[in-house]
Every structure is written in C-alpha cells, then in structure tokens.
Structure 1
Amino acid sequence: MTLRTVVRNWVDRYFSDEEAVLLLALLVAGFAAVIWLGQVLAPFLTALVVAFLLQGPVNGLTRRKVPHLMAVLIVFLAFIGVMLAMAFILLPLVWEQLTSLIQEAPRMFASGQDMLDELQKEYPQLITPDLVQHWIGVISREATQLSQRAVSLSLASLGNLMSLIIYLVLVPILVFFLLKDRDRLIGFLVSFLPTKRDLMTRVWQEMDSQIANYIRGKATEIIIVGTVAFFTFAMFGLPYSALLGVLVGFSVLVPYIGAAVATLPVAAVAGFHFGLGDQFLYVLVAYGVLQALDGNVLVPILFSEAVNLHPVSIILAVLVFGGIWGFWGVFFAIPLATLLKALVYAWPRGIQQHSIAQKVGE
C-alpha cells in the first residue's frame, strides 16, 4: 500500500463528510483569528469571558421568574459594584504592598547573604565559599532583572493608559449586550451554518457547558483560595499578606505549576521576616494545608462536571497554549484541551453515524 493510498483512505475516513470539513475550517479560522488578531480582539475576548462568568447568575434569576432584562441589569450592576470595590479597596492595598516589597528588597537580599554565610559556616563540607558566591551572583542577577522588568512594566503601563481606558469603557458595554442579546447573537451565528449539523451541535453543547463551568469554577476558586490565603497569612502576622494572597489566588490558574511557583515568594517572605524558626515552619505548613484542601476538596467540588484530563495532558496544554496566547492561553488551557478531546471522541463517531444514516436512508 502506497503512501498516497494511506493518505487518501485517512482523508476519506475523517473528512468525507461536509460537516466535518466545515467544522475543521471554522476551527482553523477561529484559531488563526485569535493568533493574528488577538491584540485587537482582546476587549471582546475579555468581555466574552466575563459574560460566560455572569450567565450562570442570569439563568438562576430567570428560573425564578425574574424577567430576562431585569435579571441582566441586576447581575450587571452587581458585577460593576464588585469591580469598583476591587479598584478602590483591593488594588491600592496590593499596589502599596508591592511598592513596599520592592523598596525592602535590598535589605532582604542582604539578609539572604547573611543566611548563606551562616549555612556555609555550619556545613562547610556541603556549602563551599565558591558555591555561596555563585548563589549570590545568581540572586543578584535575578533581582536586577526583576527591578528592570518592574520599571519597564511601569513605563509601559503609563504608555498603555489609553488602552486601559478603552478596556474600562468597551468591556462593560460588550458584557451588557452579550448578556442581553445572547440568544439573538447565537441565532445570528447559527443562521450561517448548514441545517444538518449533528457533529457541530454535539461538540458545541459539550464545550458550552464545559467552558461556562470552568470559567465560573475557576473564578470561584481564585476568590476562595486568595481570600483564605490572605487571612491565613494575616493571622500569622506575615507582611504583604494582601499581595501574597492575590498571588496565591491567581496561581490556581496554572494547575500543578502555579502552586509550586507561588511557594517560592511565600517561603522567601516568611523566611526573611521570621527566620528559619518555628513560625516559618507554621506558615509553610498552613500554606501546604491550604494547597492540599484546594486540590483535594475544592477542585473536585467546583469541577465535578469537568471532563477528566490526565495531568500530562494538562501540563502540555498549559505549555502549548500559554506559549501561543500568554495569560489567556494559560487560563483556557483546560477548556481547549477538553475541546480537542471532545473532537477526538466525537469526530469518528459523528462520521460513522452519518454514514449509517445514509445507508439506512438508501
């Protein structure tokens, strides 16, 4: 059997159906649009994520006989209120702690050098002076790069002030109309699709539920984990509790990797503030308990309806989609991996069912 025959048989098996070819074309066009026009479409994509997040409360109110427009207004105004509260309460506190942390970084660096010197004196066979100097050099370079990135980020943020204003104006408007005219917009898009679309409908229904559940569940997880982390750190008297709480909350966006990365600043701040004593261990134990409860209790509750994915698949999805789309790629890594899994399972069955239906019709 020649290579040409193998390729032809493969194409006939998976792309002999018009719906399969159209679905593939739509997926390629969608991915290409996001890759090439992602920056232009960023306000719309942001509004789409927020609309998915708020659609659940809107549906809950409409099920309780609240008129659709009234439900949209209630949920939308509540969302605006939460955003304003975060902008005027949480954001200034986090910014103040971040500024204080940057100012205190030289003192923390000096304390770290003293700690390394003490370890070298206690364990001279394991930690040599050359190794200490190497570690100091690495830490110094990383601290310099971090400060340079902070300065460049602040300058870039000043230059992107107009973009921020556009976000603040466009995103709420788009969210409101996406919630208000959801059925009309979906009907308009569906009108361009063929009448017979069993495969598309099956994939869309699964992904609509998966993405909506994932966004709402992930937002809930961020809020719960970040809030509990903040109160836990504050209870121990750890400085920068709000900043670390926000960091730990957003770390859940990246499964497995995020928890490990967030451990480093928590351990560093606790070590510099408390020293390597009992209080330091208590903070790490409390943080470990928080991560264990998140992974073994909170995540199964919030994502009980999610399609199970192997950890290797999740990490690969985070690396691939994060490398393509950055933050949003990381955020949507699991839904996109779920989409690929749904396509793999639905595609052959859809074509086989179409072929069987054609034979029965004949």
Structure 2
Amino acid sequence: MFEYVKMWYERKFSDPHSVTLLFLLLALMAMFYFFGALIVPVLIALVIAYLLDWPVAHLERFGLHRFTATIIVMLIFSGVMLTLVIGMGPILWQQASNLVQESPHMIEQGKSFLLHLPEQYPSLINAEQVQSVVSSVEAKAIEFGQVLLSVSLTSLKDVVAWLIYLILVPLLVFFMLKDKLELISSAEKLVPKQRRLILQVWHEMNQQIMNYIRGKVFEILIVGLVSFIAFTIFDLRYAALLGVLVGLSVLIPFVGAALVTIPVAAVALFQFGLETQFWTILIIYGIIQALDGNVLVPLLFSEAVDLNPVFIIVAVLFFGGLWGFWGVFFAIPLASLVKALLNAWSTKQEEQLIEHS
C-alpha cells in the first residue's frame, strides 16, 4: 500500500509545477474557508466585474480608452440597477408582506385538505399517516418562524453591512475594471516561477467563469421574466415575487427548481383549489423548467465544460456545504476547475510517459 501511494505521489507531484499548483489551491481553499465571510464584498465585486468586463472590452475595440469605457459601463449598470430597485423593490416588498400575512391561513387550508384525504381515499391513506405529516409540517413552520424572528433581530446589523457594501462594491468593481491588466500583473508576481500548470488551468477557467457568470445572469432574467408573464396571464397572485423566486432558483441547478415548485404550487392551490387553473399553472411552470434545462442552458453555456448532472449535484452539495451561497453559485465553475486540474495532471503524466519511452 505504501509503495502504491509512493508511486502515485512521484507520478503526480514529481514536477515542481504540480507541487506549486497544489499548494496554491490549498492556500486559496484555506483562505476562503477561514476568511470567506470577510471577503464577501470582494467576491461580489469580482462577479460584477466579470459581468461588466465584456461591454468594457467591446467599447475599447471602438477606440475608447479603458478608463472612459469603464465609466460609461458603470454609469449604465448603476442606472439599470437603481431603476430595478426603485421600480420592483416596493412591489416585491408588498407582495412578500402579503404572502407572509396569508401564510397561516394557507397552512390551515392545506391542513384541512390533508385531514379530509382519508375520507376520500380510505384505501390509499389513513388518518395516522396524515396526522404525522401535519405534525411534521407544523413543527417545520414553527422552526421557520423562529428563524425569521432571529433574522429580524439582527436586521440592523445587516442593514449597516449592506450600506457598507453599497459603497465598497462599486469602488472595487470600478478599480477591477479600470486596472485589470495591472492587477493581473501584480498577481503573477506573487506566484512562483514554476507556474506552467497554473497558467494552463487559469487560461482554461478564466473564459469559462466569464461565460458562466454572464450566462447565469441572462438565464435568471429570461426565466424570471417568462415566469412573471405566464403567472400574470393566468392571474396568479404574487406573480412578481414568484417570478423573481423562479428566476433566482436557477442559481441552484436541479434543486432550485424543485424547491421553488413548493411556493408556486401552494399559492396556486390556495387561490384556485384543485381546479383547471391550478393544473394549468403547474403544467406551464413545468414547460418553463423543461425549456430552461433543454434549450436555454445549452444555448447560454455552450462553451462551458460538459458535466454530468450527477457531478453538478454533488458539486452543489459539497461546495455549498463549504462556502454557502458562493459555493452554490460557483458550483459548476468549481466542478469544471476540478476537471481542469485532473486534465492538467493527466497531461503531465502522459508527457512524462512519452519522455521515458
């Protein structure tokens, strides 16, 4: 066993470039694990900078200086965000408040529906099973209410943090865009000279991360807007709030769509009962999710590494457990990074075999 491990180590890490890559990855993982909460503004700014670098680069091709292009793009982006916040913020807040107020009535209606199931289908379900489900749901509802209360008690601290973010993040984005080349050059000076594999992985991942962030933003906007229009056409209550939730659900592949189905189905059931409108909304919602997974995602992420759904779900669970929201958001790029690392080490091993032969 020891000899096998020794042979594997010599085959994979005999090259200084491989060792440098390994230590860099370990250092980055340790930094994100222990100090991730402290660098959240930097991560947010980095995501936005990746998103805005594309229009800045296009303006540069038209002959504008990067400083001027950065100012133009930042002004447009800030204007769009302010418009969305001012236009959609009050509507979403009102709908969320109304939904929270009606939640107890919706839970009671659902409880009554479940308790009558044994009378309608005595051969399929009994009263004990229904009571067990009802008790479990009530316990989860109480637990969720306690979580909301604890969140509200710490809301003042969160408001202060968000105010700080509103100042820091735009400044970070501006300087990341304006001084992109200088920042990359400074980062290269910190990396040891044995960095051939690091550069190989970086070049493979840089474009993928850019495409992923840009594609994910477009996916959120398209899926959310289409869902909002569909819910509005069928006169579903809280259409704007549910549309936003459906759009944001694409951040968590596969799992997000399943989770958001619950509020969509609950609101539709509370409003229409088991009538035709309820089933129509569920069918439309299913069609939107199917088109997203089979048409929109392949179109937007055509340049991304092809990953099996099992690997994506495992990546969401693993990286989400490590780094929370950001682990979930970057689950696919991180899974692609693991694949790129394996490819890099495999390529190095093949080169060594060719040299020895």
- TM score, norm. by length of structure 2: 0.95
Q: Give, in whole Å, the separation in 1 of the partners of 2:73 and 2:352.
A: 42
Instruction: Give the alignment of 1:181-220 within 5 angstroms.
Output: 181-195=179-193, 197-220=195-218
2:321 to 306, 320, 323: 323
Aligned to 2:293: 295
Q: Give, in whole Å, the separation in 1 of the partners of 2:14 and 2:104.
A: 65
Amino acid at match of 1:28: L
Structure 2 contact 12–18 (Cα < 8 Å) conserved: yes
| Structure 1 residue 126, shift from structure 2 partner | 2.1
Amino acid at match of 2:267: V
Moved more, 122-131 or 48-57: 122-131
Q: Is 1:33 aligned with 2:13?
A: no
Moved more, 254-263 or 64-73: 64-73
Q: Give, in whole Å, the separation in 1 of the partners of 2:37 and 2:220.
A: 25
Aligned to 2:3: 5
Name the SS of the counterpart of 2:38 in structure 1. Answer: coil
Aligned to 2:149: 151
Q: Give, in whole Å, the separation in 2 of the partners of 1:194 and 1:132.
A: 63
Q: Give, in whole Å, the separation in 2 of the partners of 1:15 and 1:60.
A: 41
Aligned to 1:169: 167
Aligned to 1:92: 90
Distance 1:356 1:183, change over 3 A: farther
Q: Give, in whole Å, the separation in 1 of the partners of 2:336 and 2:105.
A: 46
Instruction: Give the alignment of 1:202-241 within 5 angstroms.
Output: 202-241=200-239
| Structure 1 residue 64, shift from structure 2 partner | 2.5
Aligned to 2:102: 104
Amino acid at match of 2:294: N
Aligned to 2:335: 337
Q: Is 1:14 aligned with 2:9?
A: no
Q: CA RMSD in A?
A: 1.8
Aligned to 1:279: 277
Amino acid at match of 1:349: T
Amino acid at match of 2:270: F
| Structure 1 residue 73, shift from structure 2 partner | 1.0
Aligned length: 357
Identity of aligned residues (%): 50
Cα deviation per residue 1:83-106 (whole Å; 9 max; x = unaligned)?
A: 212322222221211111111112
Amino acid at match of 1:216: R
Q: Give, in whole Å, the separation in 1 of the partners of 2:159 and 2:265.
A: 34
Cα deviation per residue 1:157-216 (whole Å; 9 max; x = unaligned)?
A: 222222111111101100000000001000111123345633222110110011111111
Cα deviation per residue 1:197-253 (whole Å; 9 max; x = unaligned)?
A: 332221101100111111111111011111111111111111111111111111111
Name the SS of the counterpart of 2:154 in structure 1. Answer: helix
Q: Give, in whole Å, the separation in 1 of the partners of 2:121 and 2:190.
A: 72
Amino acid at match of 2:160: M
Q: Is 1:47 aligned with 2:37?
A: no
Name the SS of the counterpart of 1:8 in structure 2. Answer: helix
Q: Give, in whole Å, the separation in 2 of the partners of 1:33 and 1:194.
A: 18
Segments of 5+ residues of structure 1 without an aligned counterpart are none
Distance 1:344 1:133, change over 3 A: same
Amino acid at match of 2:148: A
Aligned to 1:83: 81
Name the SS of the counterpart of 1:170 in structure 2. Answer: helix
1:264 to 262, 265, 270: 262
| Structure 1 residue 309, shift from structure 2 partner | 0.6
Structure 1 contact 198–350 (Cα < 8 Å) conserved: no
Cα deviation per residue 1:122-168 (whole Å; 9 max; x = unaligned)?
A: 11232322223222222222222222222222222222222111111
Structure 1 contact 236–283 (Cα < 8 Å) conserved: yes
Structure 2 contact 49–177 (Cα < 8 Å) conserved: yes
Structure 1 contact 225–248 (Cα < 8 Å) conserved: yes
Q: Give, in whole Å, the separation in 1 of the partners of 2:193 and 2:139.
A: 61
Structure 2 contact 20–195 (Cα < 8 Å) conserved: no
Q: Give, in whole Å, the separation in 1 of the partners of 2:63 and 2:71.
A: 15
Q: Give, in whole Å, the separation in 2 of the partners of 1:18 and 1:271.
A: 62
